[in-house]
Amino acid sequence: VVQVLGIDSAEILKAVEEVPVLSDSASQLLMLASREDQSLLELEKVVEKDVNLTSQIFKVVNSAAFGLMTPVKTLGRGINYLGVRNVVGLALQMSVGSVYNGRLMGYESEPGELWNHCLQTAIAAREIAKCSKTKLNTDTAYAAGLLHDIGKAVISQFLFGTAQDILASIEHTESVDYLMKEEEITGTNHSKLGFELSKRWNLPQDFAQAILHHHHPDQAPDEFKAIAYIVHLADFVAMMVGSMTSSDAMLYQLDEGYREYIDFDELGLERVMSETCLEFRQIHDSLSSVRD
């Protein structure tokens, strides 16, 4: 039986405040990614103010793993090759990598698991967004995927030692929902804490709402339902193709309502899964080849 540990909500909110803030470049790039379209020039202007990000972009596109025949010498071409989505990913890794890369003790997962899961969700969300019935920028979907589980980095410490009890208690219940168990133990959950963090990070509403509603997209305000459902489905794709070492893997309800927002026949879930695996391997190799 899961015991309520009586965690002070002030203590949890304090933990949100202790999370590092985004760099200016990461913040501005996310802002651009949330817009319907953005020009290369705008991206370049943001990136060139961040020396570390600029040099990292050159390192990635010119790495052996990226596989270009001729070296890239201008920032514009570098950004072009990577795409908005990967520039955002790099900026997040460089500014709040410590949030993503640590070991989540509360979920008994491996170090780096949160980042890998968010990256897989992002790739899947972009694929799914291509079949969205309402017009939706695929880079917005990607960035929302990257951010969706960020609250886990905050709640993890308060879930320490609870995973086995949660799994045992879920075995005896009919409706599987890890989120509810988090709520029972801490009085909050990783979606809500991610939403708190999105305020601290000044994230655009698309991302804040996708984070808050990614497990129950039917509860999102109408104008954010499409993005919430896309991230919701992408999360499942990521859990299906991922390493599943996290204690909550697949222990959520799938809301079939996504069919209202996504042209499911055109989508082809099998294809999304294999695309996700493929792109994940490519970008993960490129990124890790420059990290050390």
Binding-site ranges for Fe ion (CB under 5 A):
149, 235
CA distance 242 to 246: 10
N-terminal to C-terminal alpha carbon distance within the chain: 44
CB-nearer residue toward Fe ion: 56 or 121? 121
CA distance 182 to 98: 23
CB-nearer residue toward Fe ion: 65 or 167? 167
Q: CB 191 → Fe ion: shortest distance, Å?
A: 6
Q: CB 38 → Fe ion: shortest distance, Å?
A: 26
Residue 2 DSSP code: P
Q: CB 36 → Fe ion: shortest distance, Å?
A: 25
Separation in Å, CA 138 to CA 77, 143, 181, 275: 20, 9, 32, 15
- Is 8 in a helix, a strand, or coil? coil
Q: CB 215 → Fe ion: shortest distance, Å?
A: 6
CB-nearer residue toward Fe ion: 206 or 235? 235
CB-nearer residue toward Fe ion: 39 or 175? 175
Task: Mark out the alpha helices in the chain (DSSP H runs).
Answer: 9-17, 24-33, 40-48, 51-61, 75-101, 113-129, 138-147, 152-155, 163-171, 178-186, 190-200, 205-213, 225-241, 264-267, 269-291
Residue found under tokens 């709402």: 209
CB-nearer residue toward Fe ion: 127 or 235? 235
Q: CB 253 → Fe ion: shortest distance, Å?
A: 12
CA distance 195 to 208: 6
CB-nearer residue toward Fe ion: 139 or 235? 235
Q: Which two tokens stand for residue 207?
A: 């991302």
Q: CB 183 → Fe ion: shortest distance, Å?
A: 13
CB-nearer residue toward Fe ion: 113 or 149? 149
Q: CB 255 → Fe ion: shortest distance, Å?
A: 13
- Is 262 in a helix, a strand, or coil? strand
Q: CB 118 → Fe ion: shortest distance, Å?
A: 7
CB-nearer residue toward Fe ion: 139 or 149? 149
Q: Which amino acid is at 153?
A: A
The closest of 94, 90, 81, 80 to 119, measured between CA atoms, is 90
Is residue 174 exposed (0-12), middle (13-18) or buried (19+ Cβ within 10 Å)? exposed
